[in-house]
Amino acid sequence: MEELKKSDVIKHLSALRRLILVSLLLVIVGTVSIYAFAYDFAQNVSLAPLKALNITPVVIGVAEGFMVKLKLSFSLGFFVSLPALIFLLLLFIFPALYRREKLPAIILCVAGTGLFITGVFLSYRYIVGLALRFFLLEQAPGFQVVLSYERYFSFLLNFLWPFGILELPLVVFILTSLGLLRPAWLRKVRKYVFVISFIAGALLTPPDVVSQVMLAIPIIVFYEISIWISVFTCWLKKPRKKELSAEE
């Protein structure tokens, strides 16, 4: 029995190792592809909110342009690779799921990927422009704006990635399926999550109330959705417990 358990552990570790290696390879391929073939397009997309305000960033460091190019290529490479990464993660957890759990897992993975992309897009399309206008034009009237390309890109990333929190329900489903998370614990720490969400809104967005609230509210809403998904996942696991007790 102990040898079988050790064998199972080794198999799981080998599968996890393959998952990590293949995921890294996908991100590297995506990064290199963006860097070599699509960087001009990626640069135009990233600078569009700034150009809409008739502001052109400047390069003030020797390697600044190159470092921003690497960061932009990596960020978009990861973004492009995300659906494949989610698919690989799904394949990894599939053997641990019963037939009743597999369809919800597929639906949540597809929906989670779509929600992440939607969150990043909405942040890029609506919130970034408002924040730039507020800080660069409304709070500094009469001054010439000189903005570093690297600082602008860091600002852009700080706005885009936090809105990917829309994928939180998928993470909760996976952790609950693996037995690492329970709805009772999620309810217990709810009040702390509410406080942390507003702290995150204050740290990751400019110090204006609108941007902070627009980041905090989605976190709270999707945390509540995640609690119900965890409850649903536990309900799906009940037949498994009954089958195991019957086998014993």
pLDDT at position 24, please? 92
The residues, any chain, with a CB within 8 Å of residue 38's CB and separated by 6 or more, are: 76
Task: Lowest mean pLDDT of 5-9, 21-25, 90-94, 130-134, name the range.
Answer: 5-9
Pairwise CA distance, residues 215 & 219, whole Å: 7
Pairwise CA distance, residues 31 & 41, whole Å: 14
If you average pLDDT over every residue of the chain, what do you get?
Answer: 79
pLDDT at position 33, please? 92
51-106, pLDDT tens digit by residue?
888 888 888 888 888 999 998 999 889 888 888 888 888 788 777 777 766 777 77
Task: Provide mean pLDDT across the span 163-170.
Answer: 67
pLDDT at position 247, please? 44
57-66, pLDDT tens digit by residue?
888 888 888 9
Q: What is the DSSP string of the chain?
A: -HHHHHHHHHHHHHHHHHHHHHHHHHHHHHHHHHHHHSHHHHHHHHHHHHHTTT---B--SSSHHHHHHHHHHHHHHHHHHHHHHHHHHHHHHGGGS-HHHHHHHHHHHHHHHHHHHHHHHHIIIIIHHHHHIIIIIISSTTS----BHHHHHHHHHHHHGGGGGGGHHHHHHHHHHTTS--HHHHHHTHHHHHHHHHHHHHHHS-S-HHHHHHHHHHHHHHHHHHHHHHHHHHHHHHHHHHHHHHH-
pLDDT over threshold 80, residue 155: yes
Q: Judge if pTM exceeds 0.85.
A: no
pLDDT over threshold 50, residue 246: no
pLDDT at position 239, please? 56
pLDDT at position 29, please? 93
Helix axes 209-247, 99-122, angle to 10 degrees: 170
182-203, pLDDT tens digit by residue?
888 888 888 888 888 787 767 6
Pairwise CA distance, residues 70 & 149, whole Å: 13
Pairwise CA distance, residues 159 & 153, whole Å: 10
pLDDT over threshold 70, residue 234: yes
pLDDT over threshold 50, residue 229: yes
Task: Provide mean pLDDT across the span 177-182.
Answer: 74
